[in-house]
Chain A
Amino acid sequence: MNYLIELFTNLEEDKVIEAVKDEIKKDTDPMAIIEACQSGMVEVGDRFEKNTYYLPELLIAAELFNAVMDILADKITGDDAQTKATIVLGTVKGDLHDIGKNIFKTLAEVNGFKVCDLGIDVPAGEFVEAVKKENAQIVGLSGLLTTVFTSMQEVVESLREAGLRDKVKVIIGGAPVDESIMKMVGSDAFTRNASEGISVCKSWVNA
């Protein structure tokens, strides 16, 4: 399957789809096909981190991966994928931006995290509920506006009130955040860069 990994890594979209269909015809184990594409996705993520790939490549890889999964959807049973940890992710109340959040989500999934994506404009209570329900280890709060720092603060506060603050790590992400905002919000980390954020999450899980 190395050829498929390579096609995927080089983002040969049509050829990847064609190859996946060929492998299905040859009765190849669907999990082997998925694993090959996952390896390609991991390589794309690495190149993104190392600045040889940028947003166009990462976005195409994510779409390509979803296209492959769509083809294989009815051929796989159950989800036996191993996950590192669960991240509850969302753009906080008052903010409707989702591109940064989605990039982070893509990279997190590539890196073996299970992501529970709550969407945009998410009130503090929903984060708390999701952490309980998913038994999550990490909470990711996204925001692009300088006016939503208090919304981030409210989430951390609500987690504390629910007795969950010590059970989860909280990372805030978005163009305007920095160390001072992290302190104000009461999160464990901040990032302006999705791949850096993933490294932080990985360090938490591996520690």
Chain B
Amino acid sequence: MSKTPQELYDERLKRVHDAIALRVPDRVPLIPVIEAFPMYYSGITIQEAMNDYDKAAAAYDKFFEDFDPDLAWDPIFMYPAKILELVDLKWFRWPGRGLEPNRIYQFIEGEYMKADEYDELAHDPTNFIQSKILPRHFGSLQGLRALEPIRNSIWLGWFTSFTPFASKELQEALEVLKKAGEELNKWLSFLGDYQKKMKEKWGLPVAYGSFSFAPFDLIGDTLRGTVPVMTDIRRRPEKLLKAIDAMTPIAIDMGVRGAKATGVPFVWIWLHKGVDEFMSDEQYKTFYWPSLKKLIEGLIAEDLIPIVYGEGSMNDRLEHMRDIPKGKAVYHFENVDMAKAKDILGDVVCISGNVPNSLLATGTPEDVKAYCKKLIDVCGKNGGFMMDTGALVDEAKPENLKAMFEFTKEYGTY
């Protein structure tokens, strides 16, 4: 007798929670992060999916008819082009804005915060981000610059607090934000409806409650940029550390608020700049790890589950990463020696990842099965392991992704 969607839903969530708590689940959970694959799979372009919610939904329908992960991604990664255009996001290129229709969108770094602005960021991150950084990130929100003096009225709470709103430029920015907000409302309802469908039709739990970032990356990704932040490590270490301290509670809050609002406990922390090649052990344990650890612990303290998503090589970081509460998080790896990771971290945290995206794109189903077998043999002993790809899934041969799913379900049974 086939199971109801509700039964499947409960079973999948239990499987994932068991693996995370380092209990032995019924089988190895499957949690690949699916990005553009459903669009390639169903034959619509990324541009179509980013511009038409119904088309995106149809692509995901086709994907979920054929694939049944234990944690599933709704169309959140098909960011709404209409909103990106309205606000004129500067550090992003997408199909229709600098890219052909079927290319995956990309992040274009820039030095949006200057080296001499560290003190300002550390002193009052909210004010700095609202009135300085947002206007630099968004071409049509220049007027937000006028917000800077909003807290400095002659009395706190007096009507003159709103003097900045007398600015024509700010009023224009607010018009844009009103339109963007209306569209965001549509997009969020679309995602909400789709999640409901995922649960009710296929019994699929949504994979994410919210996203957050290592405090070092918050500064490096969209404020300073990679090259400037890496040189800041040597040129202005004290200022960088102060800024990291200032951003840490924000990183925690980012994860907590989102996850509490959605009621889904999984907070994905997308790691970027802490990889082996980027910084020395000394630099990692000074600038990267302490604040990331605080973020992980801060989320756990709120009963949330951090899924720390590392891409690239992190072999030299594993010993440091041991130092978190047991059975409360997930570490995802890409180019990491998984036997070593299991050995070092296995008694502390559930690990996942490492199935090479290149193998999915160019290999055969037999290659994929052999790789997954090795992973399950090495990492799957006594639970604490989830099957996942090395990076977000865009291009892959469908038969290879199917082989990963079918083989894991068959061979990964405990």
Q: Which residues of A does B touch, CB under 8 Å?
A: 11, 13, 51-57, 59-60, 63, 94-97, 99, 145-147, 149, 175-178, 180-181, 183-184, 192-193
Q: How far is the CA of A46 from the CA of B278 in the complex (A)?
A: 16
Chain B residues lying within 8 Å of A192, measured Cβ to Cβ, are 313, 335
Chain B residues lying within 8 Å of A94, measured Cβ to Cβ, are 99-100, 103
Chain B residues lying within 8 Å of A97, measured Cβ to Cβ, are 106
- The stretch of B53-61, B355-363, B379-387 in contact with A is B355-363
With known contacts A63-B231, A175-B312, A180–B362 Cβ distance under 8 A:
yes
Query: Closest approach, in angstroms, between the C-beta of B244 and any C-beta of chain A?
Result: 15
Q: Mark B98-111, 1 if CB is under 8 A from A, else 0.
A: 11100110101100
With known contacts A63-B231, A149-B362, A54–B312 Cβ distance under 8 A:
no
Q: How far is the CA of A183 from the CA of B234 in the complex (A)?
A: 40
B361 touches A149 (CB 8 A): yes
Contact among B109, B312, B335, B358 with A180 in the assembled complex (CB-CB below 8 Å): B358
B227 touches A99 (CB 8 A): yes
Chain B residues lying within 8 Å of A13, measured Cβ to Cβ, are 235
Chain B residues lying within 8 Å of A11, measured Cβ to Cβ, are 234
Q: How far is the CA of A97 from the CA of B99 in the complex (A)?
A: 13
With known contacts A96-B108, A145-B394, A55–B361 Cβ distance under 8 A:
no
Chain B residues lying within 8 Å of A53, measured Cβ to Cβ, are 280
Q: Mark B260-289, 1 if CB is under 8 A from A, else 0.
A: 000000000000000001111001000000
Number of B interface residues, CB 8 Å? 37
Chain B residues lying within 8 Å of A183, measured Cβ to Cβ, are 362
**Max chain A Cβ within 10 angstroms of own Cβ: one of B98, B103, B279, B334:** B103
Q: Which residues of B does A touch, CB under 8 Å?
A: 36, 93, 98-100, 103-104, 106, 108-109, 226-227, 230-231, 233-235, 277-280, 283, 311-313, 334-335, 356-359, 361-363, 391, 394-395
B279 touches A56 (CB 8 A): yes
With known contacts A94-B100, A94-B103, A146–B395 Cβ distance under 8 A:
yes
Chain A residues lying within 8 Å of B394, measured Cβ to Cβ, are 145-147
Chain B residues lying within 8 Å of A193, measured Cβ to Cβ, are 277
B311 touches A60 (CB 8 A): no
Q: Which 10 A-B pairs have the closest CB atoms?
A: A56-B233, A56-B230, A180-B362, A146-B357, A55-B278, A54-B280, A184-B362, A94-B103, A55-B230, A96-B106
Q: How far is the CA of A55 from the CA of B99 in the complex (A)?
A: 29
Chain A residues lying within 8 Å of B106, measured Cβ to Cβ, are 95-97, 145
Q: Which partner residue on chain A sits nearest B104 by CB separation?
A: A147
| Residue contacts A-B, CB under 8 angstroms, 17 given | A11-B234, A52-B280, A56-B234, A56-B283, A60-B231, A94-B103, A95-B106, A96-B93, A96-B98, A97-B106, A145-B106, A146-B357, A147-B103, A176-B357, A176-B391, A177-B358, A183-B362
